[in-house]
Amino acid sequence: MKRDVLKIALVVSLVFNAAVIGAFAYGFARRPAPPEDCPAPEQFASHGRRIARHIGVPRERTMRFVRVMADSSRETAGIRSALRSARGELIVLIEAGEPDEGAIMAKVDEVSRLQGDLEKRVVARLLDARTVLTHEERARFMHLIRHRCISEDSAGRFTQPVGGRKERGVR
């Protein structure tokens, strides 16, 4: 009787693990392929100007705002490339005939570390960008960021993430 319970627990655990790995792989498969390399910072200039115009930054400060945003993209390009590479290696490890759980978990740790590094750089960029903005512009900028990253319920409380990257590949 005790062996039967252990066998059932083992089968349930294996099925659950296979489902988690399948969901993880499916999530990667559904995303559009990222570009081979992060676009040049100069290509962010029009996007930065569009954001500046949207939040009401006057022309005399727009270029400073765009420069802060573009400087950050130079810093994050290497991390984004390493992150794409590590995620690709993770998928290869998961797809192996006999997956090595230790290697997979080590790669997951690497992906998590890189994602954390990227998040820190992005937040540093947001803080730098705020220094160029007035109080009102900062409020509009943070509203834009909040709208892109998080949902709010009717009482203005933050709820779950909206979904991260948009389908059109905007980072």
Alpha-carbon distances of 146 from 70, 74, 129, 142, 158, rounded to whole Å: 21, 24, 15, 6, 9
Conformation bin of residue 164: beta by default, left when phi > 0, alpha when psi is -120 to 50:
left
Q: At what angle do helices 135-149 and 44-55 cross, to 10 degrees?
A: 120
- The tokens describing 171, both together, are 């980072």
Token readout for 42 is 């100069």
Residue 140 in tokens: 């509009």
Closest-CA residue to 101 (of 31, 21, 5): 21
The DSSP element (H or E) to which 140 belongs, if any, is: helix 135-149
Task: Specify if 140 maps to a domain.
Answer: yes
**CA-to-CA distance for 131 and 126, rounded, in angstroms?**
9
Q: List the pLDDT tens digit at each of the 171 positions of the chain.
A: 677 777 777 666 776 677 777 776 666 565 544 444 444 545 556 777 888 888 888 988 888 888 887 766 777 888 989 999 999 999 999 998 888 889 999 999 999 999 999 889 888 888 888 888 899 988 888 888 887 776 555 555 555 544 444 444 444
Question: Do 92 and 136 fall into the same domain?
Answer: yes
Domain that holds residue 149: 31-161
Does residue 168 lie within any of the structural domains?
A: no
Claim to verify: residue 8 and residue 91 sit in the same structural domain: no
Q: What is the CATH number of the domain that holds 126?
A: 1.20.120.1490
Number of domain units in the chain: 2
Same domain for 47 and 64: yes
16 and 55 share one domain:
no
Same domain, 26 and 72: no
Within this chain, do residues 25 and 37 fall inside the same structural domain, yes or no? no
Q: Are residues 43 and 97 in the same domain?
A: yes
Residue 15 covered by a domain: yes
Same domain, 106 and 140: yes
Q: Are residues 128 and 88 in the same domain?
A: yes
Same domain flag for 87 and 21:
no
DSSP three-state, residue 100: coil
Q: Are 48 and 128 in contact (CB under 8 A)?
A: no
Residue type, 45: A
